[in-house]
Amino acid sequence: MTKPSRARVRQSFDQAAARYDTAAEVQRLICDDMAARLTATASAGWAPQRWLDAGCGTGYALPLLKARYPQALAFALDLAPAMLQQAGAQWPRIAADIEHLPLRSASIDLYWSSLTVQWCELVRVLAEARRVLRPGGRLAVATLGDDTFHELRAAFSSVDAHRHTIAFHNADEIVALAVAAGLNEHQLHRRAEIRYFTDLKNLLRSVKTVGANQLGQGRRSGLLSRQAFARAEAAYESLRSPHGLPLTYDVIELHAQV
């Protein structure tokens, strides 16, 4: 599955870093839920000595994990330096690619990643996660499934043949890749988080603010014409509910152990 270049991903999230938290409601909710599930599913008394937030963004999950594991050594890693700057200097920060972790093999007890791996080649990410995890280590990853932003794709399909979003893995593919990477005792949890907007411009502005607007495959080289955008608006309006225009996040959590 072809993904955006790492340079494009870095540029997009560097540009979004300063305003990211103003629109990251779904991202925060997913972190909260995954942290609670990690605590509930871990063996009694289990606690990591070293944990990694792979793709930490502005650092929302860092204090959540620190509160649960106060004695552990934390590492905050992100591809975008501007995101790391937002996370704060109180964390050991690493500017690096999660497809090529600059960490020793078997050096981490908890690999955590929330809404990052969908921008990456998942087979490489999971292989690297397996490599750096110690025996008995745990993995907690939240990503987006193939139903994500289906409303956007449907609306813009009336305008042109461009996809306008990246291609997301489905649940079966994620499980198969986890097994192939040697991650055992995996559990998958899937749910839809739907957000509603007053109009298409506000919806697209929200997507842009979290850095996801420039990462679709086969994206257009120029702006939509006014007429084309009006057609997309009309198509999206057909999906309007009493709550507004819907935008779906198909949330998939993968929990596994080495």
Q: One digit per residue, pLDDT tens: the chain, 258 residues?
A: 566 677 877 777 777 777 777 777 888 999 999 999 998 877 778 899 999 999 999 999 999 999 999 999 999 999 998 989 988 888 999 999 999 999 999 999 999 999 999 888 999 999 999 999 999 999 999 999 999 999 998 998 877 656 667 789 999 999 999 999 999 888 999 999 999 999 999 999 888 776 555 444 444 444 567 888 899 999 999 999 999 999 999 999 999 998
Query: What predicted TM-score, i.e. pTM, was given to this entire model?
Result: 0.90
pLDDT digits (tens, 9 = 90+) for 204-257: 988 877 655 544 444 444 456 788 889 999 999 999 999 999 999 999 999 999
**Contact at 8 Å (CB) between 64 and 32?**
yes
pLDDT digits (tens, 9 = 90+) for 26-42: 889 999 999 999 988 77
Rounded CA-CA distance 9/163 in Å is 17
Architecture (CATH level 2) of domain 6-147+167-194+247-257: 3-Layer(aba) Sandwich (3.40)
Rounded CA-CA distance 256/253 in Å is 10
Residues composing the chain = 258
**Which phi and psi angles does 174 have, rounded to 5°?**
-65, -45
